[in-house]
């Protein structure tokens, strides 16, 4: 049997991930427009159910196509890889947005090998946006090549951020934001880490920072931002106070690191 080239592998993974993300988006888009305030408990149950349903769809389709691959999933669908490829998936990134029917929630799917993330797809149905990237192959939004902002000054920069679920960490984040607000053009809090990273990639915001990100928050969006020319620093956080993720073009990344890193 002819050995598959890296180019062929990347193409196969991208096509597979894009199709699965779109089908998961169709599944998740089938939801009530609004929930009555007295139905919020039922709404939370529904959002949790849909999170699990999305992950089940994604995992089953990946393994049907590539049964030897590994899985790392936010909802616990983990298995070791036998092929050298492991998928990192977030079935609903921005669950609170999804719960409240706010835009920006997305499906984040990445595949990695021993050298790191190889491909990434972030699909946000409410934004009509599908971002994709492959290692060394550039980044794209709806098939259009994208590049990060070249902002060099804080005062010219629109900065996105997110808040930890940990209350003590939120206090620390609030202090950093308070010191930053007078020095930047403005701050945005969109509610979905993968889309924030993709907004850096496409220049919709100039930079982004957040603590406490998990691997599934960062894998696809981080690759997309890097392939669009951004620097992405920081590691996955699992406890309050761990290293902050910062994503921006080189000049702005340096300034943000000095200010808040």
Q: What is the pLDDT of residues 134-151, one digit of tens each?
A: 999 999 999 999 999 999
What average pLDDT score do residues 58-84 get?
A: 93
223 vs 212: CA distance, rounded Å: 18
Q: Is residue 1 part of a domain?
A: no
Q: Are 32 and 137 in the same domain?
A: yes
Q: Are 138 and 185 in the same domain?
A: no
Q: Are 139 and 231 in the same domain?
A: no
Domain that holds residue 133: 6-145
pLDDT at position 238 over 80:
no
Report the CATH number that the domain containing residue 231 is assigned in CATH: 3.40.190.80
What average pLDDT score do residues 85-109 get?
A: 95
Q: According to the model, what pLDDT value does residue 37 have?
A: 44
Q: Are 96 and 21 in the same domain?
A: yes
Q: Are 133 and 186 in the same domain?
A: no
What residues pair up with 120 in beta bridges, in sequence order?
110, 133
Residue that finishes a domain, picked among 106, 127, 145: 145
pLDDT at position 240 over 50:
no
Report the CATH number that the domain containing residue 56 is assigned in CATH: 3.30.540.10
**DSSP line for 183-198:** GSSEEE--S-HHHHHH
Q: Are 80 and 182 in the same domain?
A: no
What average pLDDT score do residues 60-79 get?
A: 92
Q: Are 162 and 224 in the same domain?
A: yes
Kindly report the number of other CB atoms within 10 A of residue 60's CB atom.
Answer: 12
Q: What are phi and psi of 246, to 5 degrees?
A: -130, 130
What average pLDDT score do residues 217-245 get?
A: 81
Q: According to the model, what pLDDT value does residue 24 have?
A: 98
Tokens of 70: 């590994």
26 vs 19: CA distance, rounded Å: 11
Q: Are 11 and 138 in the same domain?
A: yes
Q: Is residue 222 part of a domain?
A: yes
Q: Are 134 and 228 in the same domain?
A: no
pLDDT at position 227 over 50:
yes
Residue that finishes a domain, picked among 97, 118, 145: 145
131 vs 230: CA distance, rounded Å: 15
Average pLDDT, the chain: 90
Q: According to the model, what pLDDT value does residue 22 have?
A: 98
Q: Are 100 and 33 in the same domain?
A: yes
Q: Are 96 and 159 in the same domain?
A: no
pLDDT at position 35 over 60:
no
Q: What is the pLDDT of residues 140-188, one digit of tens each?
A: 999 999 999 999 999 999 999 998 878 888 888 888 899 999 999 999 9
Buried b / exposed e over 185-203, threshold 16 CB at 10 Å, is eeeeebbbbbbbbbbbbbb
Cα 138 to Cα 8, 12, 135, 145, distances in angstroms:
16, 16, 7, 7
Q: According to the model, what pLDDT value does residue 171 have?
A: 87
Burial class, 167, CB count within 10 angstroms (exposed 0-12 / middle 13-18 / buried 19+): exposed
**Structurally, how many domains does the chain consist of?**
2
Q: Are 25 and 82 in the same domain?
A: yes
């Amino acid at each position: 049997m002819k050995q598959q080239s890296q180019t062929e592998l990347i193409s196969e993974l991208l096509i597979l991930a894009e199709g699965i993300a779109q089908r998961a988006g169709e599944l998740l888009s089938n939801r009530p427009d609004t929930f009555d305030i007295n139905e919020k408990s039922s709404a939370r149950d529904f959002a949790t159910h849909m999170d699990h349903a999305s992950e089940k769809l994604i995992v089953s389709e990946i393994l049907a196509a590539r049964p030897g691959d590994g899985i790392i999933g936010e909802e616990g669908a983990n298995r070791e890889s036998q092929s050298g490829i492991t998928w990192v998936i977030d079935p609903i990134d921005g669950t609170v947005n999804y719960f409240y029917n706010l835009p920006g929630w997305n499906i984040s799917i990445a595949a990695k090998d021993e050298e790191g993330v190889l491909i990434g797809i972030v699909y946000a149905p409410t934004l009509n946006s599908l971002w994709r990237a492959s290692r060394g192959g550039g980044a794209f939004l709806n098939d259009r090549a994208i590049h990060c902002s070249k902002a060099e000054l804080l005062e010219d920069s629109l900065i996105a951020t997110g808040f930890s679920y940990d209350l003590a960490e939120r206090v620390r984040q609030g202090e950093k934001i308070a010191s930053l607000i007078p020095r930047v053009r403005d701050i945005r809090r969109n509610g979905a880490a993968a889309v924030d990273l993709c907004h850096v990639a496409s220049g919709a915001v100039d930079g982004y920072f957040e603590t406490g990100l998990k691997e599934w928050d960062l894998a696809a969006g981080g690759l997309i931002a890097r392939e669009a020319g951004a620097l992405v620093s920081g590691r996955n956080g699992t406890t309050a106070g761990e290293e902050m993720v910062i994503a921006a073009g080189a000049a702005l990344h340096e300034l943000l690191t000095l200010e808040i890193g």
